[in-house]
Amino acid sequence: MDPDRMPRWLSGFAQRHGDWTVVGAQGVLDLRAEDGASAECHASPGAPAFTGVDGFLAAVRVAGPLGLLLARRGAVAVGVAEGDELAVSKVDSRYVQGRTAAGGWSQQRFARRRENQARAAAGDASDLVARLLLPRAGELVAVVTGGDRRAVDAVLADPRLGPVAALRAERFLDVPEPKLAVLEAAVRQARAVRIRLVDP
């Protein structure tokens, strides 16, 4: 949910379920209503520490620079978001052969070729991250990743990217092949408050 919509959502939660109390947890606003309903509101990655509802609402509105890295086989999108806008971004793709149904020697040959192509694509993506995110690692509040976990892991395995990898948030975005429109939409996904609602 968009952080700006949280006050209205909290008001609606109280109307539907009655008064609620706050159970403290780091990075989570945990609400328990009098009818037995509960809501875990997870702050966006990089949100500062908070206490209580007012602190939570203030924390999720803080929009410090956020790094984004989306990767799938042969495709990568990297950006820095300031607020809900991309301040800088780059999208790139490189051909990586799909799996083949052939067996025996041909299958092994195609597998080696695919592995080499994937390694080269990860290297290109690492160069892109080094160019866009590494210089700003000291000011980014977090780096949110998405796409394919193995592809992202391969990119961030580059030793140069240690400072970027250290900022990697737990949140992982499920996105299609990274393109500019996908990266732009990912900014809002990365900054959204995630709510786990349990009815009584």
Q: Are residues 50 and 115 in the same domain?
A: no
pLDDT value of position 95: 47
Beta strands 28-33 and 20-25 are: antiparallel
Distance between CA atoms of 63 and 147, rounded to whole angstroms? 23
Out of 42, 62, 82, a domain closes at 62
Q: Are residues 88 and 179 in the same domain?
A: yes
Distance between CA atoms of 138 and 198, rounded to whole angstroms? 38
* pTM confidence score: 0.84
Number of structural domains (the chain) is: 2
Would you say residue 199 lies in a domain?
no
Would you say residue 39 lies in a domain?
yes
- Three-state secondary-structure class, residue 139: coil
Q: Are residues 165 and 148 in the same domain?
A: yes
Per-residue confidence of the chain (200 residues) as pLDDT tens digits? 999 999 999 999 999 999 989 976 678 999 999 999 999 999 999 999 888 899 999 999 887 899 999 998 878 999 999 988 999 999 987 544 455 445 554 566 555 655 655 565 567 889 999 999 999 999 999 999 999 999 999 999 999 999 999 999 999 999 999 999 999 999 999 999 999 999 87
Q: What is the CATH number of the domain that holds 150?
A: 3.30.420.60
Distance between CA atoms of 108 and 2, rounded to whole angstroms? 48
Out of 62, 82, 107, a domain closes at 62
By the 8 A CB rule, do 62 and 105 touch? no
Q: Are residues 54 and 120 in the same domain?
A: no
By the 8 A CB rule, do 80 and 68 touch? yes
By the 8 A CB rule, do 164 and 143 touch? yes
Q: Are residues 74 and 131 in the same domain?
A: yes
Beta strands 85-93 and 194-198 are: unpaired
Which range marks the domain in which residue 96 is found? 66-189
Q: Are residues 93 and 170 in the same domain?
A: yes
Out of 45, 62, 79, a domain closes at 62
Q: Are residues 120 and 174 in the same domain?
A: yes
Would you say residue 79 lies in a domain?
yes
Q: Are residues 79 and 134 in the same domain?
A: yes
pLDDT value of position 23: 78
Would you say residue 194 lies in a domain?
no
Q: Are residues 11 and 42 in the same domain?
A: yes
Would you say residue 15 lies in a domain?
yes
Q: Are residues 13 and 111 in the same domain?
A: no
Q: Are residues 38 and 90 in the same domain?
A: no
Sorted by sequence, the CB contacts under 8 Å of residue 7 that are 6+ apart come out as 57
Q: Are residues 75 and 41 in the same domain?
A: no
By the 8 A CB rule, do 26 and 49 touch? yes
By the 8 A CB rule, do 164 and 78 touch? no
Q: Can you state the angle between helices 52-61 and 6-17, rounded to 10 degrees?
A: 150
